[in-house]
Structure 1
């Protein structure tokens, strides 16, 4: 019961503020997750092991005033061998989504959803640089396309994550591409762990020395609100857990004069999680000199009844987290 009271209080306090919420966010959107499915069967069969978001799904979020679509995909499908050419058929599928989204004036964040690995093996700086050279050359003339270097590196020295990301940045800029780049850290790029060192040297220490010749990048962090920050539970630790998780990373980025995109966040359809999510968004708005926006995890046609899904139902009706929370934090809220 106390959670219901807390949620009601927080929601009432924030209602007037969320009317202008999106004025504080450059990017508000969702991850359209489905093209990275079927990791156990690579490259797999299209529309059996994996798929791409439908126009109807994209339209729901674009018309709902989301100006950012994050597109996870499997590197192994787009580049069938390391340092090989991009697969024409797979590229055409990605390109179809890119053109659909950016043709409607919105932003598309490319997301190789690979954890700094290729077929389960850690990649080298040269291998990621080769991949991004090829992809950047395809999209350097479309500034609505954003380059998310890699999803959630983990279980490797942070210094190696730095080397791989820096090599990718250098390779992208060598193509003359000026597109916005988002740079992850180690340890699943968690905001809550950014300044900690239980996984090795902290992201705060190592990633601070990232250099972008074009000076057009943000750090990408992810943050879930459950007991182990994994996003695998529909319950949240507390109403304040999101704020507590972001404070140290916010202070770190501000000292560097850098911005952060919250590339993944999600929470369950319950009062405590809504309170935690509201508080997190309020904190990000109050610190919008650092926080550029967010992408919710997740949308996508194959999620079914997944606890965080905001993919519209079969009858086109919206999911609870969209109506109760997210739609108040879109560009239409401005």
Structure 2
């Protein structure tokens, strides 16, 4: 992709400084990121650049220039591991590696996000067709490949759904153990079930709330954060193109902050997004402010969504158009331009 001289200079400088910058960013604990969606598109296996796509250099360049330092990368488990308990697909793994190399050119971290909702080829983890051991096997293989690379974060699973909380806790713990058994000490992001909404964290599901059940997560490496998502529309799904319940959404994240503090845990806001109307953009700043004001318990955030193939008509999309920046960027910019002093000073 075309890149102007200013961005070319940035790229060269970042390449020279990458090992130092990447480590410093991981140490500060303040992830300010974007979901670059596209690699999870289409039914597997699909065809690269026809049914699914990885982020282009042009897109990465744009978000790097805005100050984003983290990319959450959705992809399909079935593409990366075509057969359960089988090897990872070398071509697909190479595409992720190529994306990581591109991001490193701008000292941007990578969050690996199997975007499968706790399913594989339509069957849920913990079923006869997709046993817990298969999920653990997948993460053991992936962790072995990225062990010792602190700018790679392991997001266990996007929005587990239609899976009982006890089964998910068992699966998450099995995957975490498999990761640590490889010697990998990368940070792990652990979601809850029922789409891991902050608004539902304290609601009883399967006989126990997430606030109670998720305390059963165990990490031998003691390096994980709980991942929650929170949208602003009437049912908190992010599908309505409104921000009708913005105040409730911000309140839910604030309550989750209290839970993290009470239990000595860390959190990560993996998905959130708003349409471009001014009241929605203002609420967006309120939510990010809650995370930025509490860097002792919040690892950071990644906005949903952007990506080369996203329609400009998608209400939450902040992929730039020929007309320039999306309005939502104004709600994020203060936190991209000037992260809090506490955040910058924090060491993990």
Where in structure 2 are there 5+ consecutive unaligned residues?
1-27, 126-130, 341-348
Q: Name the TM-score, length of structure 2 as normaliser.
A: 0.84
User: Residues 331, 111 of structure 1: CA spacing in aligned structure 2 closer, same or farther, 3 A cutoff?
Assistant: farther
Give distance in 2, aligned partners of 1:317 and 1:250. 34
Say if 1:111 and 1:149, in contact at 8 Å, map to a contact too. Answer: yes
Count residues in correspondence. 307
Partner of 2:250: 243
Q: Name the TM-score, length of structure 1 as normaliser.
A: 0.88
Where in structure 1 are there 5+ consecutive unaligned residues?
1-23
Partner of 2:317: 309
Partner of 2:346: none
CA RMSD of aligned residues (A): 1.7
Aligned 1:1-334 pairs, distance under 5 A: 26-38=30-42, 41-123=43-125, 124-198=131-205, 200-305=207-312, 306-313=314-321, 315=322, 317-322=324-329, 324-330=330-336, 332-333=338-339
Question: 1:200 deviation in Å?
Answer: 4.6
Question: 1:81 deviation in Å?
Answer: 0.8
- The DSSP-based 3-state class of the residue aligned with 1:281 is helix
Instruction: Kindly provide the CA deviation profile for residues 43-96 of structure 1, in whole angstroms up to 9, marking residues without a partner as x.
Output: 111111111110110111112211110000000001001111111111111111
- The DSSP-based 3-state class of the residue aligned with 1:224 is coil
Partner of 1:14: none
Q: RCO higher in 1 or 2 (8 Å CA, sep ≥ 6)?
A: 1
Say if 1:242 and 1:277, in contact at 8 Å, map to a contact too. Answer: no
Question: 1:204 deviation in Å?
Answer: 1.1
Say if 1:116 and 1:152, in contact at 8 Å, map to a contact too. Answer: yes
Instruction: Kindly provide the CA deviation profile for residues 224-274 of structure 1, in whole angstroms up to 9, marking residues without a partner as x.
Output: 010000000221124422222123322221111111110001001112212
- The DSSP-based 3-state class of the residue aligned with 1:219 is strand
Instruction: Kindly provide the CA deviation profile for residues 155-201 of structure 1, in whole angstroms up to 9, marking residues without a partner as x.
Output: 22100110111011000000000101000001101011011114652
- The DSSP-based 3-state class of the residue aligned with 1:325 is helix
